[in-house]
A and B are shown apart, each in its own frame.
Chain A
Amino acid sequence: MDTGYMLVGILVMSAVTYLIRALPIALVRRRLQSRFLLSLLYYLPYGVLSAMIFPAVFTCTGNVLAAAIGTGTAILLSFFFPNLLLVAIVAVLAVLVAM
């Protein structure tokens, strides 16, 4: 991998990612008044995360059955112990065992 090319690529892609994150935080200070928009933004993390999980989670380990078992384990565990790290570790172990 050519060093100059790699460096330019890394810097450009990082700048794009940063600008996407920074522009709304830097420029929008006013509180939104629209009840619809506020509600939409409230539900957004749940909607986006759910769309990111499904269906990608089933193909992420290269073994659909093991991934499904890991997903089921994570959902069940989150119901009673919603601790991010605990759920992540147990899900990985569940996939390992199922593979």
Chain B
Amino acid sequence: MMSSQLSFQRGVRDGLPIGLGYLSVSIALGITAASKGMPLWGAALFSMISMTGTGSLVGINLLAIGGGLIEMILAVAVINARYMLMSLSLTQKLPEDMPMWKRLLIAFGNTDEVFAVASTQTRPLSFPYMMGLILLPVIGWTGGTIIGEAAGNFFTGSLIAAMNIAIYAMYIAIIVPGARKSAAILLVVLLAAGLSCLLTFLPMVHLGSGWIIIIAGVAASAVGALLFPRKEDA
């Protein structure tokens, strides 16, 4: 049975593209932090202890305008509420007898991309694999923030703007293979995209993007689950 377990090395290999993708996104984050007057150590600390792209960006903006603590808590909670669903999903793939400290470490690195890569594995998830998977994303996210803060002047405006698409391109690379092999996944993807656009552009809807992502994502997945329930063993 040991040979069928996902190894630490395999995790590092799967985490490499995520880490490099994060590097480009967090360089942009570091540049923003510097422009808002946040010291390098502050931005680096923030990135090191919380890997959340949109959450960090909003957090830095709130700090820059002197926002209140309640405002910060609510904003981050709404933007990151989706992680609660992702963690609930991920815990289904972890061994039931995994000790608490290992669970608490895994939870730290459960970002959108880590979750997407982990949850599309066909073999059971192991603690070493999850640590390997999380390692390079943490280094990339923190390192990129530091690079952006320290060397932001070396990046031209159009390169910074273009790098913003890197994270979305990674999301696309995660969902396209699934949508290609399963009509049910394709339906969920199209529904979620449509709903998200609708909720964003309808003039009578006034929802933050955090809420829109949750509502569109959950509603589309629920339709998928109703129309195409998975087999018991899958």
Contacts and interface: CB of A to CB of B under 8 A. Distances in A.
Contacts of A21: 80, 83-84, 86-87, 107-108, 110
B172 A78 contact: yes
Contacts of B150: none
B149 interface: no
B49 to A, nearest CB: 4
A41 B42 CA distance: 36
* Residue among B107, B185, B200, B226 with the highest chain A CB neighbour number at 10 A: B107
Interface in A22-74: 22-26, 28-32, 35-57, 60-63, 66-67, 70-71, 74
A87 B225 contact: no
B200 to A, nearest CB: 5
Contact of A51 (B42, B165, B196, B222): B196
Contacts of A74: 165, 168-169, 172-173
Interface residues of B, number: 110
Nearest to A69: B165
Main secondary structure of the interface of B (DSSP, over half): helix
Range of interface residues on chain A? 35 or more
* Residue among A5, A38, A51, A61 with the highest chain B CB neighbour number at 10 A: A51
Given A3-B42, A44-B221, A92-B162, 17 more contacts: A6-B39, A6-B63, A9-B59, A13-B73, A20-B77, A23-B84, A35-B229, A39-B230, A42-B225, A48-B218, A71-B165, A75-B172, A78-B173, A78-B176, A84-B113, A96-B162, A99-B161
19 contacts: A17-B52, A18-B49, A21-B110, A22-B103, A23-B84, A25-B110, A29-B96, A39-B224, A41-B221, A46-B178, A47-B191, A49-B217, A50-B188, A50-B217, A61-B162, A77-B173, A84-B113, A88-B17, A99-B161
